[in-house]
Structure 1
Amino acid sequence: MNPKLPARLAPLALLAALLAAGPVLAKKSDRNQPMTIDAGAQSGSFDGAGKTVLSQGVEINQGTMELRSNEAELYMSDGEIVRAIFIGKQAKLKQQMDDGTWMNATANRIEYDIRNDTLTLIGDYKVESERGSNAGQRMVYNIATGNMQSGGDGTRVRTVIQPKNKTAAPAAKESK
C-alpha cells in the first residue's frame, strides 16, 4: 500500500469537525497516527492512476477518528489520492476534538475533493458536536476558506448553536 494514502485521508475528519465545531479543532495528533483501512473487498491499486473500490463494509481508523461506510471509492493520480467518496445509509464519521469533546457526522454520501479542498456531505447529513449541529440535504465546505454552503436548492437547512455557558441561570420570568 502507498504510505501517502493515510496522510491524504486524514483531513477528512478535520474538515467535518470544522463544520460544527467552529474554532474547536479535531485532535491534531490524529494526523500523525497510523491509519488502518479495513474492508470486506478491495478492487484496484493504490499506485499510479485510476480508481480503487473498497466494499462490503469499510472501516477507517486513525487515532480517535473513526469512519464507517458501506463502500468507498478512492481516485488516484500519480500515486496520490485526489478524491475520496464514502457511500452508505449512512456513512458515519466520529472524532475527538483537541478540547476532549466529540464530533459526529453522518450522510448518505461524503465526498472529499483533495485538489479543490472541498468536503461535500450529501443526503440527510447531520454534523453534531457539543457546540451545536447542522443538518440538511447537501453541504459543501471549502477547507481553504472555511466557507460553508448548504440549502438554496428548495430544501431546508437547520442549524442549532448551543450557548457558550450552559450553566448560566435561566432568564428571570416577568411577574404579572
Structure 2
Amino acid sequence: MNPMLPAKLASIALLAGLLAPGLAWSKSSDRNQPMTIDSTTSDCNMVDDNGKCRFSGDVVIVQGTLEIHADTADVIQKNGETERVVLTGRQATLKQQMDDNTWMNARADNMDYNISSEVIILAGNYNVESERGTNAGQRMVYNTRSGAMQSGGDGSRVRTVIQPKKKPAAGERK
C-alpha cells in the first residue's frame, strides 16, 4: 500500500466536509435569501441578458449567512443566468454558516466560481478553515458536484490540519 494514501484520503475527506455541495460551503437555505451587493462603484454591461457587472471598492456581498468581502467582484451572466463569479482582493474573504450550524471561513487572492461546472478555484495564498480543520496553499481546484479536489502540484506546499472528532460530554448521547 502506498504510504501516502492515508494522508491523501484524509485530505479529501476533510475537504469534502469543509466544502459542502452547492456554493461549495453554503447553508442550503441561504440560496433562497435575497443577495445584497455594496460597493464604491459598479459598471454593468448587459446586452440581451449577457455580459458582466464589475463591482469594485470595498465590495461586500451578503446572502443569508454568507458574507463576502473583496476589492472587486465580477459577475458574468449568460442568457440571463449567472455563469461565473470572480472575486479578487488583497485577500478576498468568505464566511458562511454551514447546514450543521458550524462556520467556515475562506480567504484567497482570487476566488473563481464557475456555476455551470460547479468548480471553484481558490488561488494565491488560500486558506479554508472550519471546526473540522484547515487546508492552505497556493491553488485549490474543488468540484462541488463530485467532491474532487486538487491542490498543489505547482512546486508549492499544501498544508492540511485535521481536528480530532469532538467526543460527547459525559452524560450526552452519541
TM-score (norm 1): 0.79
C-alpha distance in 1, partners of 2:83/2:130?
Answer: 28
1:120·1:138 contact (CA, 8 Å) conserved in 2?
yes
In the alignment, structure 1 segments of 5+ residues that lack a partner are 1-17, 169-176
Give me the whole-angstrom Cα distance separating, in 1, the residues matched to 2:122 and 2:19.
Answer: 17
Following superposition, the deviation at residue 22 of structure 1 comes to: 6.2
Rounded to whole Å, the distance in 2 between the matches of 1:128 and 1:136 is: 12
Q: What per-residue deviation string (whole Å, max 9, x for no partner) do you get for residues 106-137 of structure 1?
A: 00000001122100000000000000000000
Taking structure 2 as the reference length, what is the TM-score of the superposition?
Answer: 0.79
Going from structure 1 to structure 2, the CA distance change for 1:22 and 1:109 (only over 3 Å counts) comes to: closer
Cα deviations by residue, 1:113-169 (Å, 9 ceiling, x for unpaired): 11221000000000000000000000000121110000011011000000013679x
Residue aligned with 2:31, SS: helix
Distance 2:19 2:50 in 1: 35
Partner of 1:144: 145
Identity across matched positions, percent: 54
Q: Is the Cα–Cα contact under 8 Å of residues 20 and 144 in structure 2 kept in the other structure?
A: no
Change (3 A) 1:78 1:26: closer
**Aligned residues between the structures:** 151
CA RMSD of aligned residues (A): 2.1
Secondary structure of 2:40's partner? strand
Query: Does residue 1:160 correspond to 2:156, yes or no?
Result: no
Residues 19 and 144, structure 2, Cα contact 8 Å, conserved in 1 = no
